Amino acid sequence: MLTIQPSAPQRPSWLRAPAPVGQNYRDLKTLISDLRLHTVCESAACPNVGECWNRRTATFMILGNVCTRRCGFCAVQKGGPLPVDYDEPRRVAEAVSLMGLDYAVVTSVNRDDRKDGGAELFAKTIRAIRDRIPGCKIEVLVPDFQGNRDAMKIVMDAGPDVLNHNTETVPRLYRQVRLGARYERSLDMLSWAKELRPETPVKSGLMLGLGELQEEVLQVMQDLRDHKVDILTLGQYLRPSPKHLPIVRYVPPAEFDDLKRAGMRMGFAHVEAGPLVRSSYHADDSHAAARC
């Protein structure tokens, strides 16, 4: 018997991102290539690469561009991990300096092959940027380090200005969306980061449109606040390729607005919500709001 698969929802006309063009975009692309660096903007096929690179902002991705996990939503290459490049922190700091950044965002692939999950390289990168550009604010978007609290302490001891770790989706969908991750473990790592440095804003984010229910989203938001998360990002999941998880629905802007208001009522210092919002989208603005 022939099974008819439901068709994917049609992409709405209001979901459009600026094209990756312009002199700043070209200059930054050349700089990243010359310094042999990776950005999540390119590796994860972020829809905002055109806007962000023309604003001369980027999210640097350390520890290579091959991830040890196979999450169903992510465009980053999967496979055997690359050797650790201990010169990478210096080159990231050089890029930050040449770009004239006063706010830098650093993330990584998952490195489950390493005992510390790559925490050492995060700390080295934070210190390299700070040594070269003392006034630059630094946000790190870290993996869950497989629940290794000592690894999180290594990162927090380096003094990031914002600690970000994404919960990504609701617990019911974890086995499909975040293979190898656990919801409770992510919550624990977020609260542990806040316990280590109470003065440092802690941040997390969710993708919508994967089949979650609104009450599930609201419950995750409340869980994040209960675990002392200060900043929340909410964005639309966009399928990187036919091999990735399908989009169940497109969440309209008005629904994002409702969730933003709900988050502010819960006590978040800042909520960035909208179809094209990603983890580091307007990250400098969210940091400023959280520090007020």
Structure tokens at 124: 């080295």
In the predicted structure, residue 20 carries a pLDDT above the cut 60? no
Can you tell me the distance from the alpha carbon of 49 to that of 63, in angstroms, rounded to the nearest whole number?
21
Give the pLDDT mean for 222-226. Answer: 98
Determine which helix (DSSP H) or strand (DSSP E) holds 76, and give its type and residue range.
Answer: none
Average pLDDT, the chain: 85
Which residues are 78's β-sheet partners? 67
Using the Cα atoms of residue 47, residue 256, residue 198 and residue 201 in order, give the sign of their dihedral.
positive
Give 254's contacts (C-beta < 8 A, 6+ positions apart).
none
Give the pLDDT mean for 209-238. Answer: 96
**What is the CATH topology of the domain spanning 23-291?**
TIM Barrel (3.20.20)
Give 198's contacts (C-beta < 8 A, 6+ positions apart).
none
Q: Considering only CA atoms, give the Rg of the chain.
A: 18
Of 2, 58, 38, 47, the C-alpha closest to 20 is 47
Confidence of residue 198 (pLDDT cuts 50, 70, 90): very high
Can you tell me the distance from the alpha carbon of 88 to that of 35, in angstroms, rounded to the nearest whole number?
9
Q: What pLDDT does residue 3 have?
A: 38
**CB–CB of 234/273 below 8 Å?**
yes
pLDDT tens-digit series, residues 240-274: 778 888 899 999 999 999 999 999 999 999 999 99
Structure tokens at 121: 């390289």
Confidence of residue 291 (pLDDT cuts 50, 70, 90): low
Confidence of residue 2 (pLDDT cuts 50, 70, 90): very low
Higher pLDDT: 98 or 80? It is 98
Q: What pLDDT does residue 195 have?
A: 98
Residue 109, CA atoms < 13 Å, CB-side half-sphere: 28
Of 216, 149, 219, the C-alpha closest to 185 is 149
Using the Cα atoms of residue 175, residue 179, residue 185 and residue 187 in order, give the sign of their dihedral.
negative
pTM score = 0.87
DSSP 145: G
Q: What pLDDT does residue 8 have?
A: 66
